Amino acid sequence: MSLVLEGVKKNYRQPDGQPVPVLDIDGFELKTAEQVVLVGSSGCGKTTLLNVISGITTLDSGTVTIDGTEITRLSEPARDRFRAERIGFVFQTFNLLQAFSALENVLLGMSFTGSGVDKSLAKQLLDRVGLSHRLHNRPKQMSVGEQQRVAVARALANRPSLLLADEPTANVDAANQNNIINLIRDACSENDVSLLMVTHAPEVAAEFDRVETLSDFNKATQSYKVTA
């Protein structure tokens, strides 16, 4: 898997209609099975970048190419399908659906690919993250660390080639932090999944071979900081 960003530009509009540049990236690349951590101050566009890569947010200009597919040229339904099949998402706040059990949350991740759900795979994934005994527990019945592990299992449910993790340890304690990070990294390594992880924690970033600071290659954030 490879991720290539070229000439990526994204502006937001202020209430008065004035454009606010958020992303202005000449180029960025992530190789197959590579694990990269992305750091940067709040508001520098990290989450927007992940949304752009996953096709949730559209670009003003530029291209995002994943495994040779230029997703910026895809229609919205095609982008949704691509995201369902090829991209896993781990959120800062886990974003598990409260009405669903751990197993159902993982199955939900499989529900939008069009190829049906694989219950045995979902159980395997939960077993892999150490939650085989929590299959039928709802999020509220689990600890914060357990919830994030369910979120990791859900992100891997469709055997993605790219995993996007947006500050996955921001809401877990120090003891769980390492466990979560190791779990994500190991799971990605085992399945040749590329990983792009956003974090504020220096100790997390220190674990990675490649650390990218967004403001170093995002010209929009630099100019924004100056004007602010």
Structure tokens at 94: 């886990």
Site for another protein (CB under 8 A): which residue of 4, 33, 108, 205? 108
Q: Are 113 and 81 in contact (CB under 8 A)?
A: yes
Q: Which is nearer to another protein, 62 or 88 (CB)?
A: 88
Residues touching another protein, count (CB under 8 A): 30
Q: How far is CA 12 from the centre of its chain?
A: 21
Site for another protein (CB under 8 A): which residue of 4, 74, 117, 144? 117
Determine how β-strand 3-13 pairs with β-strand 19-30: antiparallel
Give me the helix-helix angle, 174-190 and 144-155, nearest 10°. 20
Segment interacting with another protein, rule: CB under 8 A, options 27-35, 66-74, 89-97, 212-220: 89-97
Site for another protein (CB under 8 A): which residue of 95, 132, 179, 222? 95
- Residue 130 to residue 81: CA distance in whole angstroms: 29
Q: Which is nearer to another protein, 17 or 114 (CB)?
A: 114
Q: Which is nearer to another protein, 93 or 143 (CB)?
A: 93
Segment interacting with another protein, rule: CB under 8 A, options 26-34, 63-71, 73-81, 170-178: 73-81
- Residue 106 to residue 119: CA distance in whole angstroms: 9
Q: How far is CA 91 from CA 17, 19, 101, in A?
A: 30, 27, 18
CB of 206 to another protein, least distance (A): 28
**By CB under 8 A, what part of segment 32-61 binds another protein?**
47-48, 51, 54, 56-57
